Structure 1
Amino acid sequence: MQRFDNLIAGIKTPPASGQWIPSLDPYRNENWCEIPDSNGADVDAAVAAARSAFTGPAWRGLSATARGALLRRLGGLVADNAQRLAEIEVRDNGKLLSEMLAQLRHIPQWFYYYGGLADKIEGAVLPIDQPDHFVYTTWEPLGVVAAITAWNSPLLLLTWKLAPGLAAGNTFVVKPSEFSSASTLAFAELFQDAGFPPGVINVVCGTGQGVGAPLVAHRDVAKVAFTGSDATGRAINRTVAGDLKHVTLELGGKSPNIVFADADLDAAAAGVASGIFAAAGQTCMAGSRLLVQREIHDAFLDKICALASTIRLGDPSAPDTQMGPLANAPQYSKVLGCIDDAVNEGATLACGGRAHHDASGGLFVQPTIFRDVDHASRLAQREIFGPVLAVIPFDTDDEALALANGTDYGLGAGLWTRDMARVFRFTQGLQAGTVWVNTYRALGFMAPFGGMKASGLGRESGQEMIKLYLQSKTVWINNATQPPGNPFVMRLG
């Protein structure tokens, strides 16, 4: 069984505890590697390494142009290693190789984009109303950033944090999920090959209690960038608020796909199926609520159920597989428990609803659709993070908008209609960080992504997001030749 070490100050380092955590291959339902079960001592060492790198000349002395060149070099190395890294992710979390490989082949674009942006963050000379002063602003990095990622797309989620944060000049301590750490550790090795100084990137693996909590609370961490559940995000936000740290939180969702009678129903059906059954529903942006106009409700439900019944479950590395297993045993049990709860609450199973068993012993759950769903029920309100769709009819535009906004979440929303006036009304009225119109699950390095309400704080990707890893400084230079006036009065003009 392969064993991975932490990466601290450029050195592969075993955990201080001497303990290891087995990592499950969810398709074969067997442990395939071990990752460090680290603790606060490992966190202290990693933060010290990141802090030393941040203040040291090897990193702090680089020009922004030189940092950008390192990021672009790293992007090339990721492209060269895409197949290997994708295969590790599939082994660790059971997602389709076709999807993981597509992600790994596109991840370099974030490093190219922010590598090009690194030396284009400009301050300004201010036309101040005091002629005897010269005033300008600059942008400076924050310091050590704690990046904490989820298990569903570890390297994509990490890239969203590293690319702008490194372009801004920060250093990082990365804490991947204990359920999928192997690809992050393999990925981190590329930084040395790209020429990054030791300590700029550090990876410490372990549980939330053993690593996450001391990392978030560490006095030398300037910012926490987290992707994961809203419950953990709230706990992190409480901690960083007490320490006045910067924070970016990309949390869960209960995103609606809203289908009107005038939509291209075949395209809408494909988009709805993709939104909830791709990645076995284990994405924060999963379209887990289908809001469908009542006049087409039954026919459209039949169409979705027919699509769901044809989804091929199996080996995530096989090219014809369309849905893999759930990523880990706790999530598998949670999803099956949520299905049982929905039945007990009175929702009607339209299809699926059971574990899927095959010779692999993998953690499969059938594509599942519920009708007759009470929108106040837990099925419609809580994030399940699995292949479970709640179908709810509506009659009017106002009702559809109220239902769409009627949860604590606001990450994404899909809208399927040919009516452009409706498109403009809904894109303005939907409480969601991203609205997809006649498409779903589209992302890009130039487009900000993040949520409203309980779906998080801040955004990732896009040009402006580099500012979330910077702080401004204002400089006043007195060029007066005469002594100042009354020294006990503030200079205001």
Structure 2
Amino acid sequence: MSPSKTINIDFTTFHNIIDGKQRDAKTYTNGVDPTTGEKSWDVPVATEQDLNDAVRSAQKAFESWSQVPVEERKDKLRAFVDLYTEYKEDFTNLLIKESGKPRAFAQREAEGSAAGVIGHHVNLNIPEERYEDDERVAITRYTPLGVVGAICPWNFPITLSIGKMAPALLTGCTIIIKPSPFTPYTALKIAELAQNVFPPGVVQAVGGDDKLGPMMTVHPGISKISFTGSIATGKKVMEACAKTLKRVTLEMGGNDAAIVLPDVDIEKTAPQVAMGAFMNSGQVCVATKRIYVHESIYEPFLQAITKAAGTFKVGLSDDPGVMLGPIQNKMQYERVKGFFTDSKKNGYKFATGKDEVEEMNGGFFVQPTIIDNPPNESRIITEEPFGPIVPLQPWSDEAEVIRRANNTNAGLAASVWGKDVARAEKIAKQLDAGSIFVNSFSKLTPKVFFGGHKESGIGGEWGNLGLLAYCNAQCIHTFK
């Protein structure tokens, strides 16, 4: 039996949260239910004045919040987890509505984000370093940056909102969350719930249209932007932030390679590689986007992964046995369809799935699809679909497949699969990506630093090191 809820929260009405209060607007936008294509609830579009008010409130709150002892800030975060837990079923249902995820995966995100991400962060300590010689004692401490603007994506709206909120608040920053207009609902409710724990201005949220993000990145009162999204948008964020030299953390797209060695157990490995490619319908920045299989096992592995992909049921969140939901929004749905069109036009072989996307109940559903050995210069190899379509290619020379895996402007994650773990780890160390997984598809954890190489990002978050992304280093030299 779930505990009685201590606060009345309406999960069907949505507001911007500014200075501890709910605020509406003159204009509204809507998310869309990706299973039907129908509009969901109204969301107020924040204006420039709304943002200015939120920044002023965050700056004022920062003056006191940054001085609260870190253990007391941790207590507040723990209190938020306790309160959030009372509403985990509501957040699960809301996440299903805005994302279309199968219930089991929505539950994992809704229930695990607060307890897992915040639960880890409250066990961390902000480091302090001491240097001493005959002349001086120098202490390096880390002080909070100030107001953080968190620009969040639509694929994991709860995890990534809380994933930015936890380190920001722990270090003493205040935060303004901007959810994706495609999935605004859960983040706005997280901020609304947070008003019952944190002082006004510490946690705020503003929803809006395409104008809001650019306003945040140039705002002189915001000290840091933490952005998760596409490479193209991330470059614009960095360019805008340079005008005020605000700090940036950019976690952007990937074109993650999986290298399968000849000694793998095919029947055991193929379903795991398939899961890495198709989980969340491929809408994961660290999903496997390219699969390289040694030529000696290429055909049996292709058959095994095709069989595994064929068992992944696509459907509605509460359909029995459903594994994959829809593409979250129509814009991305049309982009994914473009990879089918391009592959069909160029005569590539579809090993599983059909060569075009079939309509399903008006929603944005795509069946998991494998392209058999397209050329290296093909679009499906060189670009990130961010959907459930993935290419498979054979390889023979180890050095050459490493070059192919690294032949991309992205460098977010990768995986290597093989019984000879020493060989797999040797290959892993030669891959130019921020997170490498040996004998597993990408399984991120807030306990470990996460960031990208090359155009996949600047800086990173999570783990002990990730706290420092929300801090300035300050050295105090005391002479003897």
* TM-score, normalised with respect to structure 1: 0.91
Q: Which whole-Å CA distance do the structure 2 matches of 1:135 and 1:293 have between them?
A: 54
Alignment of 1:415-430 (within 5 A): 415-430=416-431
Match of 1:200 in 2: 202
Q: Which whole-Å CA distance do the structure 2 matches of 1:335 and 1:28 have between them?
A: 18
Match of 1:488 in 2: none
Q: Residues 351 and 368 of structure 1 are in contact (CA less than 8 Å); yes or no, is this contact kept in structure 2?
A: yes
Q: Residues 218 and 243 of structure 2 are in contact (CA less than 8 Å); yes or no, is this contact kept in structure 1?
A: no
Q: Which whole-Å CA distance do the structure 2 matches of 1:385 and 1:400 have between them?
A: 23
SS at match of 1:31: strand
Residue 176 of structure 2: which of 173, 178, 181 is its match? 173
Match of 2:439 in 1: 438
Cα deviation 1:297-317 (Å, max 9, x = unaligned): 122112222222232111123
The two structures, once aligned, show a CA RMSD in angstroms of 1.7
SS at match of 1:116: coil
Asked whether 1:274 is paired with 2:279, we answer: no
Q: Which whole-Å CA distance do the structure 2 matches of 1:166 and 1:325 have between them?
A: 34
Alignment of 1:139-288 (within 5 A): 139-193=142-196, 195-208=197-210, 210-288=211-289
Identity percentage over the alignment?
A: 33
C-alpha deviation, 1:336, in angstroms: 0.5
SS at match of 2:79: helix
**Change in 2 beyond 3 A, CA 1:395/1:134:** closer
Q: Which whole-Å CA distance do the structure 2 matches of 1:460 and 1:97 have between them?
A: 28
Moved over 4 A (4+): none
Q: Which whole-Å CA distance do the structure 1 matches of 2:57 and 2:372 have between them?
A: 53
- Please, which runs of 5 or more residues in structure 2 have no aligned partner? 1-10
Q: Which whole-Å CA distance do the structure 2 matches of 1:327 and 1:292 have between them?
A: 30
Q: Residues 2 and 32 of structure 1 are in contact (CA less than 8 Å); yes or no, is this contact kept in structure 2?
A: no
Alignment of 1:311-350 (within 5 A): 311-350=312-351
Asked whether 1:91 is paired with 2:97, we answer: yes
Q: Residues 79 and 104 of structure 1 are in contact (CA less than 8 Å); yes or no, is this contact kept in structure 2?
A: no
Q: Residues 346 and 373 of structure 1 are in contact (CA less than 8 Å); yes or no, is this contact kept in structure 2?
A: no
Match of 1:127 in 2: 132
Q: Which whole-Å CA distance do the structure 2 matches of 1:468 and 1:12 have between them?
A: 30
Q: Residues 311 and 322 of structure 1 are in contact (CA less than 8 Å); yes or no, is this contact kept in structure 2?
A: yes
Q: Which whole-Å CA distance do the structure 2 matches of 1:475 and 1:330 have between them?
A: 51
Q: Residues 78 and 104 of structure 1 are in contact (CA less than 8 Å); yes or no, is this contact kept in structure 2?
A: no
Alignment of 1:335-484 (within 5 A): 335-352=336-353, 353-358=355-360, 360-478=361-479
Q: Which has the larger radius of gyration?
A: 1
SS at match of 2:93: helix
SS at match of 1:364: coil
Is 254-263 or 164-173 further displaced after alignment?
254-263
Cα deviation 1:49-86 (Å, max 9, x = unaligned): 1111112x3x2342111001011111222333222112
Q: Residues 271 and 309 of structure 2 are in contact (CA less than 8 Å); yes or no, is this contact kept in structure 1?
A: no
- Please, which runs of 5 or more residues in structure 1 have no aligned partner? 480-493
Q: Residues 266 and 300 of structure 2 are in contact (CA less than 8 Å); yes or no, is this contact kept in structure 1?
A: no
SS at match of 1:404: helix
Residue 45 of structure 1: which of 44, 53, 76 is its match? 53
**Change in 2 beyond 3 A, CA 1:51/1:127:** same
* TM-score, normalised with respect to structure 2: 0.94
Match of 1:111 in 2: 118
Match of 1:486 in 2: none
C-alpha deviation, 1:230, in angstroms: 0.5
Residue 32 of structure 1: which of 30, 40, 61 is its match? 40
C-alpha deviation, 1:337, in angstroms: 1.4
Q: Which whole-Å CA distance do the structure 2 matches of 1:264 and 1:83 have between them?
A: 39
C-alpha deviation, 1:3, in angstroms: 4.0
Q: Residues 2 and 34 of structure 1 are in contact (CA less than 8 Å); yes or no, is this contact kept in structure 2?
A: no
C-alpha deviation, 1:2, in angstroms: 4.2
Equivalenced residue count is: 468
Q: Which whole-Å CA distance do the structure 2 matches of 1:135 and 1:416 have between them?
A: 47
Q: Which whole-Å CA distance do the structure 1 matches of 2:450 and 2:320 have between them?
A: 29
Cα deviation 1:245-281 (Å, max 9, x = unaligned): 1111111111111112211212221112111211111
Q: Which whole-Å CA distance do the structure 2 matches of 1:215 and 1:2 have between them?
A: 27
Residue 78 of structure 1: which of 78, 81, 84 is its match? 84
C-alpha deviation, 1:129, in angstroms: 4.3
